[in-house]
Amino acid sequence: MILYFSGTGNSLSVAKKTAVLTGDTAIHISDLMGDGTKIYDERIGIIFPVFFFDMPDPMRVFVEYTRFNPSAYIYGIATCGGSEGNAIYNLKNILLHKNCRLSYGNVLKMPCSSTIASRRNIKYKLNYLEEQEKRVQDISQDILQKRKNSDSITYKIKGSIFNIGFINKKAKKYFAVSVDTNICVECGICEQICPNNNIVLDEAGVHIGADCSYCMACVHWCPHAAIKIHGKHVQIKDQYHHPDIGLLEMYRR
Ligand SMILES: Cc1cc2nc3c(=O)[nH]c(=O)nc-3n(C[C@H](O)[C@H](O)[C@H](O)COP(=O)(O)O)c2cc1C
Ligand code: SF4
Ligand code: SF4
């Protein structure tokens, strides 16, 4: 089984391709989330984007609260804009505390979903997508051969900068999302797409709650660019999602 989390479809695309190449099934963690989830497969993949040099909070919580087969071959793949920090290392550590072992980890550079918070007229690094095709094939071969590289996944001091309380707070504040009710047409896409179930559309309009994982899905997928980041509007031409991933695939089940 392959468990994934994704905001703009990069990790979903990797999960889907890996699933085809390894003969496994890819499932979004929000479709499994619940107390006492047990996954006793012999091979378990965990695929997610890097947020703030770490795993996204929902993926961390999922791994912490799920029971895995302790003898499973578990692998992790992180997609990132260029600096994975301690994302894979932290996954390895969480599993270790559960008496499980991350056998294999790898990282793929992809167009960066956070750039929209700081820049306009963005030129996304789409060349990463071509490289990704080949890398996913190589990684899938590693997985099929049950390759191990866990010992080479080590702690990076720089990767823990966002663990410092005030830096973490500041970074997350920078990515705070809100809706411009003058632009919003109440189509409900953001409500369906939010992996945290943090957006509600009712008679009064769209409400964004406090349980945000900063995945930026609502920002990138809103057809009218009505979701603002730290109070600033984004441009439709700056929205990004993986070209192979369609909106319906991103909806929560
Ligand atoms: C809030 C936020 C924080 C991010 N932090 C990092 C980071 O620390 N390092 C990095 O290389 N990329 C970072 N990224 C970029 C994503 O990891 C990257 O674009 C990833 O492929 C997105 O995958 P997804 O489409 O599956 O969500 C961040 C993106 C967001 C939205
Ligand atoms: S996706 Fe955009 S337009 Fe649609 S309800 Fe959400 S904020 Fe409004
Ligand atoms: S509110 Fe937006 S950024 Fe926050 S978790 Fe939901 S979709 Fe992601």
Domain regions of the chain by residue span: 2-162, 169-250
**ipTM for the complex shown:** 0.99
State whether the beta carbon of 5 lies less than 6 angstroms from ligand 3: no
Listed as own residue / partner, the contacts of 120-123 with beta carbons closer than 8 Å and 24 or more positions apart are: 120/235, 120/238, 121/235, 121/237, 121/238, 122/238, 122/240
Q: Hey, which residues does 199 pair with through a beta bridge?
A: 208
Residues 71-112 pLDDT 10s: 999 999 999 999 999 999 999 999 999 999 999 999 999 999
Q: Is the Cβ atom of 79 under 6 angstroms away from ligand 1? A: yes
Say which DSSP state 115 is in.
G
- CA-proximal residue: ligand 1, atom 29 (nearest): 114
At 252, is the pLDDT very low, low, confident or very high (cuts 50, 70, 90)?
confident
Distance CA 49, CA 152 (A): 20
Does CATH number 3.30.70.20 belong to domain 169-250?
A: yes
Tell the residue nearest (CA) to atom 6 of ligand 3.
194
Instruction: For 11-24, write each residue's pLDDT tens digit.
Output: 999 999 999 999 99
The single-letter code of the amino acid at 233 is H
Asked whether 132 lines ligand 3 (CB < 6 A), one says no
Q: How far is CA 49 from the centre of its chain?
A: 3
Which of 57, 192, 194 for a ligand 3 pocket mutation test, highest count of atoms within 8 Å of Cβ?
194
| CB 46 within 8 Å of CB 14 | no
Say if domain 2-162 classifies as CATH 3.40.50.360: yes
Point out the least confidently predicted range of 100-109, 149-158, 179-188, 211-220: 149-158
